[in-house]
Every structure is written in structure tokens, then in C-alpha cells.
């Protein structure tokens, strides 16, 4: 039994999985967020590069810059939080945290 646990921890270590690290504050079962990692690219650049890709995920209605625990982060707005959204939106990208915020559907106002 000890061997199995040791093998599991070893395999997780090789994959870079930190089973003890916290996840996003909303309780989503997404990839762990590494703490205090230096951003590789400017937040605005990452947002501009990734928004078109995220907009292709069904349910995503927009993206912008917001706050996560008082620090700037990327916020992806969704009409409904679904498993497909959870799979399509990472918890972190290029050193920046990503938060999913459920807004409901967004429609243009009639004139």
C-alpha cells in the first residue's frame, strides 16, 4: 500500500501537480493556482491574445481585467458556469490568475 501512495506522489510530481496547493476561491475544480509567480507577459497583452480563444467557449460572453484578492487578474464573464466553461478557461495563464464570473446572458438594449 505504501508503494502505491509513493508511486502516486512521484507521478504527480513528474506531472507538476501540487496536490496541496489552493484552487480558485470560487471552489471550482480547476487547475491549482501557483502562488506569487511572476507574470511572464503584460496583463493587457495576455487578455488581448487569449480573449478570442475564450470567446469560442460556449457560454463565455466577455473578458476583462478585474481583481483577485486585491491583485489585478483576468476576469472571464460567462452566462452560466458549466463543465464546458470550467474545462475551457484555465485558472492561470502566463503567470496571471483567471477568475470566472457568472453574469447571466448579456443582450444589447433595444433603442
Give the pLDDT confidence of 53-85 residue by residue, as tens digits: 999 999 999 999 999 999 999 999 999 999 999
Domain ranges, ordered by start, for the chain: 22-102
> Model pTM?
0.62
Q: How far apart are the first and last CA of the chain?
A: 68
- Between CA 21 and CA 79 the distance in angstroms is 28
Of 62 and 31, the structure prediction assigns the larger pLDDT to 62
Q: Between these two residues, 35 and 4, which has the higher pLDDT value?
A: 35
Please state whether 72 falls in left (phi above 0), alpha (psi between -120 and 50) or beta.
beta
- For residue 61, the model assigns a pLDDT of 94
Residue showing cell 512521484: 10
Provide the CATH topology of domain 22-102. Answer: GMP Synthetase; Chain A, domain 3 (3.30.300)
In this structure, what C-alpha cell is assigned to residue 88? 475551457
Average pLDDT over residues 15-25: 42
Amino acid at each position: 500500500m505504501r508503494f502505491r501512495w509513493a508511486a502516486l506522489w512521484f507521478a504527480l510530481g513528474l506531472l507538476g501537480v501540487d496536490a496541496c496547493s489552493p484552487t480558485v476561491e470560487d471552489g471550482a475544480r480547476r487547475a491549482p493556482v501557483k502562488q506569487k509567480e511572476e507574470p511572464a507577459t503584460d496583463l493587457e497583452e495576455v487578455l488581448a491574445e487569449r480573449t478570442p480563444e475564450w470567446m469560442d467557449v460556449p457560454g463565455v460572453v466577455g473578458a476583462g481585467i478585474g481583481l483577485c484578492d486585491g491583485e489585478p487578474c483576468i476576469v472571464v464573464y460567462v452566462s452560466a458556469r458549466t463543465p464546458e466553461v470550467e474545462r475551457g478557461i484555465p485558472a492561470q495563464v502566463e503567470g496571471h490568475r483567471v477568475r470566472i464570473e457568472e453574469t447571466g446572458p448579456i443582450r444589447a438594449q433595444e433603442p
